[in-house]
Chain A
Amino acid sequence: MEQIEKTFETRELTISMGPQHPATHGVLRLVLTLDGETVIKCTPHVGYLHRGIEKLGENRTYFSALPLTDRLDYISSMNNKVGYVNAVEKIFGIEAPERAKFIRTMVAEMGRISSHIIWLGTHVLDIGLTTPFLYAFRERERILDLFETLCGARLTVSYPRIGGVRNDISQEFLDELYEFVLEFPDRMDDYETLVTENRVWKKRTVGIGVISAEEAVNWGLTGGMLRGSGVNYDVRKHAPYDAYDRVEFDVPLGKNGDCYDRYLVRIGEMKQANRIIKQCIEKLPTGAVMAASPKFTLPPKDMVLKDIEHLIHQFVLITKGPIAPEGEIYSATEVPRGELGFYFVSDGTGKPYRMRVRAPSFVHASILPKLCAGGFVADVIANIGTIDIVLGECDR
């Protein structure tokens, strides 16, 4: 026995985790340098899903670049689309009608719930709790079904459009959504009973992946990652878009900036999202759902089929694209993952000269080396879960 101990040597081990690994939530590859169970260095490799969405956007009209944004963050495509149309409306200088704004706010918050709930399910599954995963998909399924009644698609919705939304919502949809909104708080209580005070869960998340408030701001983190460290920054409050200035909601904040606080923040966000949807349904104004500015927005389909003037309008808009004024804007929206920004440079033609997507997942993936270094291999899984990235958005 003594002899073995004398000749026992240790050396650093380099392993590649991913790109096909169930806990990396997509095609993320981490090269880990290990000393026993401790991570010395972690190097993330991204880009496996790079499709050149920015380049494609620069070679298409504002209308035909619209479906591309669904493919950014495919878990919450509704929110991406809201971000895109808000940016394009800003550069055109048009505004959506009140009803459309409320509908957009409503569907964006539905997207937030469906995204957070899939985060909750997969995050706790990675760490070892299987039950919430199954429940989480039940709730997500209900929201996707609602999206299906709304526009026919479940994932790549393309529902918000430049100048409004595609079609008006039906009473049936509203009734069903209201029923969901009333039931949802009870469901949240179920999750919290299963997870929040769970000893295993707390052991695996409290004090893991700590980021201080200063560091979080310096690294450019947004969304739950930033608010988990106690920094009160939410685009919905700082620069309200759509109907966010007319609904009441709180911004949940964490204290310690660890995985557990970020969990609490996102749970709080789901409750607030539910509150916003409820207010949107109650306050929903009547009126049109598409702005009537023939230079920038498509005419209604039934008029195109009846009237030659509308047909010509539609033809010119689709082929040439709406001519945006020369200038450049940056417009940000709060998506479930953080701040999604669109930066457009227009040179006065139908296509954007430069389209830039500021993806929160990309920034959050860059902090992984800092979070993982010095921790255990098992904590790497907790850290990947807590930063809540979608590689489609990260790689664009």
Chain B
Amino acid sequence: MKPLEIADKIKEKFPDEVLEVKEFREQAAVTLKKDRILEICRHLHDAPDLCFDYLVDICGADYAGKKEKRFEIVYHLYSIKRCHAIRLKAAVPESSLEIDSVTAVWAGANWHERECYDMFGIIFKEHPDLRRVLMPEDWEGHPLRKDYPVKGPEKEWSGFRAVLDKAKRFKDFEWHE
């Protein structure tokens, strides 16, 4: 199926949810409201003519000062059976950073959503294990936000001091007795 046909199918089924459909270089992106994202994803996964069985990727994007709703969660879906792809985007405003988790539909969403939480601070409701995945657990801030400095924060990471102290302690320890 052509990407725009898939977008039309989504529009047909969920007319109130679709905000925008855009096509660029033969790839279509459907921007959605965030509230019924789980339902939409389940429909895309289960409907026999769409059959999006493979979740390629979930990532966030920060449009601070560019778009009305600051964040977007981008879902790349592919159907191995039908060989077609679509991109879904759920707009998330800064005032409420919550969105439903899709781990119930695709198990592979687990770590992608954890990374998205880690990097953008988006909270995925009903996620089985929402922890930071790449940054240390006591890290402050979300690195991929546009207002986060490229060189990192001025302040040192609080865990760094602890690591240095530990190294100092072990330095005096007699390993070979």
User: A residues near B, CB below 8 A?
Assistant: 46-47, 50, 52, 54-56, 59, 90-91, 93, 215, 217-221, 231, 233, 238, 327-330, 332, 339, 341, 343, 345, 347, 353-354, 356, 358, 362-363, 365-366, 395-396
Contacts and interface: CB of A to CB of B under 8 A. Distances in A.
Interface of B: 24-25, 27, 29, 53-57, 59, 61-62, 66, 74, 76, 80, 83, 85, 87, 106-112, 115, 119, 132-136, 143-144, 148, 150
Given A233-B80, A343-B76, A366-B110, 17 more contacts: A47-B133, A47-B136, A52-B143, A56-B150, A91-B25, A217-B53, A217-B54, A219-B108, A220-B109, A328-B27, A329-B25, A330-B87, A356-B61, A358-B57, A362-B115, A366-B111, A395-B134
Contact of B107 (A219, A332, A343): A219
User: Interface majority SS on B: helix, strand, loop or mixed?
Assistant: mixed
Given A343-B59, A343-B76, A363 B144 contact: no
A339 B76 CA distance: 13
Given A55-B150, A218-B107, A238-B83, A329 B24 contact: yes
Nearest to B118: A47
B57 A356 contact: yes
B108 A366 contact: yes
Contacts of B87: 328, 330
Contacts of B66: 347
Contacts of A332: 56
**Top-10 shortest CB links A-B:** A220-B108, A327-B24, A366-B111, A47-B134, A358-B57, A219-B108, A356-B59, A50-B134, A354-B61, A233-B80
Contacts of A327: 24-25
Contacts of A328: 24, 27, 29, 87
Contacts of B107: 215, 218-220
B53 A341 contact: no
A112 B24 CA distance: 31
Contacts of A365: 111
Contacts of B61: 345, 353-354, 356
B134 A46 contact: yes
A276 to B, nearest CB: 22
A342 to B, nearest CB: 10
A329 B54 contact: no
Nearest to B76: A330
A392 to B, nearest CB: 13
A157 to B, nearest CB: 26
Contacts of A353: 61
B154 to A, nearest CB: 16
A220 B54 contact: yes
Contact of B80 (A217, A330, A345): A217
B89 to A, nearest CB: 9
B111 A362 contact: yes
Contact of A363 (B25, B76, B111, B136): B111
Contact of B144 (A46, A54, A91, A330): A54
A220 B106 contact: yes
A46 B133 contact: yes
Given A343-B59, A343-B74, A358-B56, A55 B27 contact: no
Contacts of B110: 366
A365 B115 CA distance: 13
25 contacts: A47-B132, A56-B150, A90-B25, A93-B25, A215-B107, A217-B54, A217-B80, A218-B107, A220-B108, A220-B109, A327-B24, A328-B27, A329-B24, A330-B56, A330-B76, A343-B57, A343-B76, A353-B61, A354-B62, A356-B59, A358-B56, A362-B115, A363-B108, A363-B112, A396-B134
A356 B150 CA distance: 16
Contacts of A366: 108, 110-111
Contacts of B112: 363
A330 B56 CA distance: 10
A218 B27 CA distance: 23
Contacts of A396: 134
Contacts of A93: 25
A174 B177 CA distance: 58
Nearest to A237: B83
